Amino acid sequence: MTSEQPDHEEQAPQPRRFGVWNPEAFAPFGYRDFRVLWLMVFVRSAALWLETVARPVLIVELTGSAFLLGAVLAAYMSPTLVLAPIAGIIIDRFPHRRVLIGALTANITSSGLLFILLLLDWAEGWQVIVLAVVSGSSTGFFHPARRAMLPGMVDQPHLRSAVALSQTGQTSMRIGGALMAGLLLMFADFTWIFGVMTVLNVSAAILVILIQTREEPHQPDPDAARSLLRQVTAGARWAIESRWPLAVVGISAVLFIFLQPYEGVMIPLIVIEELGEHKAWVGYLVAVGGVGATLGSVLIASMTEIRSPNAIMVGIIVIAGTALTVLSQAPHLAVVAICVFFGSACVNNMVSVANLALLAHAPQHMRGQALTLMNLVLGTSLIGALIAGTLADSIGARWGLLTMGACLLGCALLALSTPRVRWWLWRRAMYADVSREDWLQSGRNE
């Protein structure tokens, strides 16, 4: 691959001001194609968060079923679990722009068809669930493909900054997109929301077409599928033989089953049915969760020493269980907002902490296999979505939240009361060689 040259003339690096400001951190914006890619991610993320807020609220209005609310979240996440093992093979075999266009086509199809169905007043719950599967099929391809394009867009000295900056287009719209969804729910109807979403997805696809970076021809590897299968099975064998990785995977799975679905399943029910508030507040609360997730990442990443991610993981479960327990009895939106702030911070940082625990323990030649295990753990949130929907449908949203919070706190208590697990949690010496750079890199592996 050949890197394009920056639009500006090369200048000598400027010194840091006050020991913090480094103008070179923004050097990737000097490359035309990086600017186009960043804008594409920004636009696509706006559409994604519009959908994240609007889809569950639409299901509640169409069906009133809490179980189907959990089912639509499970439907959205199921393609990621099924397609994740082959996503890497496809990205390695085909031009990255084609992969991105294919992923965005799935989003355009999903939002466009829903827009037409809503416009004609033909929309039904089962259609929302089916189209959630179509939209969810893009996730496993979009992020790896757009990251894989970066080395061809910027020179090597600017690659690290490009990776970090490319995330800002996505994370900023976790807040902005959710706020936009809340405003549209307040002043418009779902037809407008899915219409805007379709326009944003089409705009993102056009921006991909405008990228000019040339890619080297992809050489098909006939053994790629078998190599991936060997990698996954090797990681599973290593985890079973070593035993301690099973604790990391188990603790992570607990959080993804009992916490991760709360935002997409329980929040709409609490806001609309329990508190009787306007549906726009679902979007505003998701934005509050985005603030919590961002500040949580900054807090943990700024720690000078990361000696025991194991203990941090259990601490996250305790905070998450407490947040869900309080949320289940929240009498006012202000209390709900505080709980959502802490709950989303826990969800957002669990993968980074678990990745660090695996990176710290695993031998150098097993790190790839260790991180592959986390991709499988993420799939357990599909189970959690169905459990959350079933609980809300059978015993109500508040009691369902209380049950999920109690399960989190019970698992944390079990971990802290088991001598072998407690010993593993505080083996700080095993993390002596983990640098802050390793910690930051583990967060980029999400």
Band of pLDDT at residue 261, cut at 50, 70 and 90: confident
- 247-256, 308-317, 436-445: range with lowest mean pLDDT: 436-445
190 in the same domain as 272: no
Handedness of CA 215, 216, 222, 223 (dihedral sign): negative
Asked if residue 22 belongs to a domain, the reply is no
53 in the same domain as 187: yes
Band of pLDDT at residue 302, cut at 50, 70 and 90: low
Asked if residue 8 belongs to a domain, the reply is no
Asked if residue 11 belongs to a domain, the reply is no
Asked if residue 288 belongs to a domain, the reply is yes
Give the pLDDT confidence score for residue 318 in this predicted structure: 92
233 in the same domain as 199: no
**What percent of the chain stands above pLDDT 90?**
24
395 in the same domain as 266: yes
Tell me which of 181, 212, 243 is where a domain ends: 212
231 in the same domain as 154: no
267 in the same domain as 177: no
246 in the same domain as 376: yes
pTM over the 0.75 mark:
yes
Question: What three-state secondary structure class fits 5?
Answer: coil
Which residue is associated with the tokens 């607990």?
Answer: 254
Apex CA 137: angle with CA 134 and CA 142, to 5°? 130
Write the pLDDT tens digit of every residue in 150-193. Answer: 777 887 777 767 766 776 767 778 888 888 889 988 888 899 99
Q: Please state the rounded mean pLDDT for residues 222-244.
A: 64
Q: What are the E-state strand segments in 296-414?
A: none
137 in the same domain as 197: yes
Tell me which of 190, 212, 234 is where a domain ends: 212
Band of pLDDT at residue 232, cut at 50, 70 and 90: low
Asked if residue 51 belongs to a domain, the reply is yes
Q: Please state the rounded mean pLDDT for residues 237-254.
A: 77
Give the pLDDT confidence score for residue 414 in this predicted structure: 82
Residue ranges of the alpha helices (H) in 94-149?
A: 96-119, 125-136, 139-148
Residue 418, domain CATH = 1.20.1250.20
Euclidean distance between CA atoms 338 and 329, whole angstroms: 13
Give the pLDDT confidence score for residue 14 in this predicted structure: 44
pLDDT mean across residues, the chain: 78
Q: Containing domain of residue 46, as a range?
A: 29-212
Q: Please state the rounded mean pLDDT for residues 343-352.
A: 80
189 in the same domain as 162: yes
Specify the number of domains making up the chain.
2
Q: Please check the confidence at residue 352 and state whether its pLDDT lies above 80.
A: no
Euclidean distance between CA atoms 348 and 211, whole angstroms: 30
Asked if residue 2 belongs to a domain, the reply is no
250 in the same domain as 187: no
Write the pLDDT tens digit of every residue in 42-92. Answer: 999 899 989 989 999 999 889 888 888 888 888 888 887 777 667 666 776
Tell me which of 212, 244, 261 is where a domain ends: 212
